[in-house]
Amino acid sequence: MSSIIEPIEAMAPTARAVEVLELSDLELVRRLYAKISDVPTGNDKLADDLYFLVGEVVERWAPHVELADRIATVREDELTNPEDEIEDALSRLAGKFAMRIQLQAERQIRNA
């Protein structure tokens, strides 16, 4: 009798794959953003597009990770009023979420 576990065990992930699997969600997102900054000079539009699209995907599918990234960034920047920056980030995320819901509802109404 075949099992789904057999093909998974047969995959034998590489050391690099295991390293990525072990990353927290926040570490994964931060590494992805770091890789985008490695886009060679002269490809600014590509880097900007990737940064925007990755940010949008993270906001939609893992808003808790997006907020954690913003909090970590605020802490790293050692700002004078980190609480205000975090509150602003949360407000922006909530505003974008509300806008996204409204736009999706409008699209559904148009396409009904």
Per-residue model confidence as pLDDT tens digits over 57-75: 999 999 899 889 888 888 8
CA neighbours closer than 13 Å in the CB half-sphere of residue 56 = 8
Q: What is the per-residue pLDDT for 85? A: 85
**pLDDT of 43 over the 80 cut:** yes
Q: Where is pLDDT greater, at 76 or 79? A: 76
The CB density around residue 14, as the number of other CB atoms within 10 Å, is 9
Residue 93: alpha-carbon gap to chain centroid = 13
In whole angstroms, give the CA distance from residue 107 to residue 110: 5
How many Å apart are CA 6 and CA 66, to the nearest integer?
35
**Global confidence as pTM:** 0.71
pLDDT tier at 7, thresholds 50, 70, 90: low
Work out the average pLDDT over 31-60.
93
